Structure 1
């Protein structure tokens, strides 16, 4: 086990690791997936501390970074890696900055409700989210072979225009980013979000076959796949009640909630 003051490393299996930041109110998870030839890191966390310090201890394989979406808490350590991939829908935010969110608000959010010691290098008053050109783009249906491990990309917009989910077909793990998690609401109430797209994306992932576990990017680490049946029920309810629009509030279901 890796002991670290900021990151909590949890073993999902011998080739899959969650790198979690439980000392911050967002309780964000990044995920390192190892193949025999290369590795993929799904998101790079908050950027409060350097995540590469952890990945260097877990593998010597070359790492490609898959960006679930371009929000501050998912791209924090992107600058530590050479190969970064993002969907076209979020590329502009990665290059030119996140739209609709002031740097003052970003700094306020990154610095509040912290319960673990932060490194001396972290200064919220000067904190800036990563900006840079991606190595390449992720597209719906893309397949990546890591060496005895196959990943499939699903474009799942709503929370952001270019949000993606990653299905590890080899193990049945579905990494849903901020499309699906428990405890706190999944949100699509900012101007840059889209409630209709979010519900369509939830329906899309609920139809993926042979899911063994769902891994969202916040809160509980690992949700049993029966939640996808609850997603189907929720989708039907939200559409029938015409709730898929801004201002309809928080809608609670069995195991998760959404906010429009």
Structure 2
């Protein structure tokens, strides 16, 4: 069997049998799969999975025989089979996948897959967004605005200067119409945008870029640019937002110390890894406006550490930003803050506490077995 492949099964066709050895898990593409156990000599259906759901992961995690049989419940049921090496790679690199596996195992053990009392996090987030206006324009300084939509898009920031009109972060394609409404309300056409600066590569910041069809230049850090050029949907988190791929390229590479000048605003670039490896922050030098992307939000809340990011890089970046003496903190999500120094210091306290806490956890649990599994899996990936 290959390391990753598609397979199609007809109704009642066996995918694997209870008690068999298993070194791969499966993702349902179309149709449904039933998981059953042998009870008093007959097969009892205990669980069903559909498109986008996974099964067979327990045998991969525990290196034990299959705890149930799996068979197709519908004609032309198709699945992706993924070997153990790639399973462990996904676990080690992608927090969303790790959470999905934990939820799957938990629901299997509790047998509450269809529990009506369990509300999905997506439904909770959508409900929260419905309570806010479609788009809010927050004037910041002369010809500078924060643009906030109620979709899962990020905040965007507009700098309208004599020579250039600059937009920082474009948001999701799903949020473009609301963003366009914000721009129109301040008499700026999307086609008038000269430069789009991306603070990092996550899809809620880049998805709408192709919708800006004027003569615009898209700028980002070289690591962000490389992920976008490579079509690395894994790092970009495109699947997490349910949108099609954004087809565009980065025309301008932003290195540490670069300055983008609108004629009235000077945006200096700082490479601030932590949320991702290619994250940048921007300081508008004349007014002390600090755009931090998702590195740190108002109140000192962390925007998360994803994929290529890590907590020690976050501390390094926060130390860098703390020395800038900014006046206003403009984050990638949520409200702005008038106390950037306080936000940064609070985030640093959280980061240092997180390092201490996780060190204690790993010393107590001993992460040796886990990391050794990942190291061994590299042999499978490199075969």
Q: TM-score range by the shorter chain?
A: 0.7 to 0.9
How does the TM-score come out when normalised to structure 2? 0.51
2:253 pairs with 1:137:
yes
* Equivalent residues of 1:179, 1:198 under 8 A apart: yes
Aligned to 1:117: none
Aligned to 2:232: 97
State the Cα distance separating 1:88 from its structure 2 match. 0.5
2:266 pairs with 1:150:
yes
* Equivalent residues of 1:206, 1:231 under 8 A apart: no
Output aligned runs, 1:8-19, within 5 Å. 8-19=136-147
> Using the alignment, how far apart are the partners of 1:187 and 1:244 within structure 2?
18
Q: In the alignment, which of 158, 164, 167 is matched to residue 32 of structure 1? A: 158
How does the TM-score come out when normalised to structure 1? 0.73
State the Cα distance separating 1:245 from its structure 2 match. 11
> Using the alignment, how far apart are the partners of 2:238 and 2:265 within structure 1?
39
Q: Name the SS of the counterpart of 2:330 in structure 1.
A: strand
> Using the alignment, how far apart are the partners of 1:14 and 1:29 within structure 2?
18
RMSD (CA atoms) = 3.1
> Alignment length, in residue pairs?
221
> Using the alignment, how far apart are the partners of 1:101 and 1:149 within structure 2?
29
* Equivalent residues of 2:153, 2:204 under 8 A apart: no
Q: Structure 1 residues 102 and 232, CA, compared in 2 at 3 Å: closer, same or farther?
A: closer
- Kindly indicate which of the two structures has a greater share of residues assigned to helix: 2
2:275 pairs with 1:159:
yes
Bigger relative contact order, structure 1 or 2 (CA pairs below 8 A, ≥6 apart): 1
Q: Which runs of 5+ in 1 are unaligned?
A: 108-126, 249-260
> Using the alignment, how far apart are the partners of 1:232 and 1:104 within structure 2?
28
Q: Structure 1 residues 156 and 29, CA, compared in 2 at 3 Å: closer, same or farther?
A: same
Larger radius of gyration: 2
* Equivalent residues of 1:206, 1:232 under 8 A apart: no
> Using the alignment, how far apart are the partners of 2:337 and 2:271 within structure 1?
21
Q: Name the SS of the counterpart of 2:298 in structure 1.
A: coil
Q: Which runs of 5+ in 2 are unaligned?
A: 1-132, 364-383
Q: In the alignment, which of 301, 309, 312 is matched to residue 196 of structure 1? A: 312
Q: Name the SS of the counterpart of 1:99 in structure 2.
A: helix
> Using the alignment, how far apart are the partners of 2:220 and 2:343 within structure 1?
25
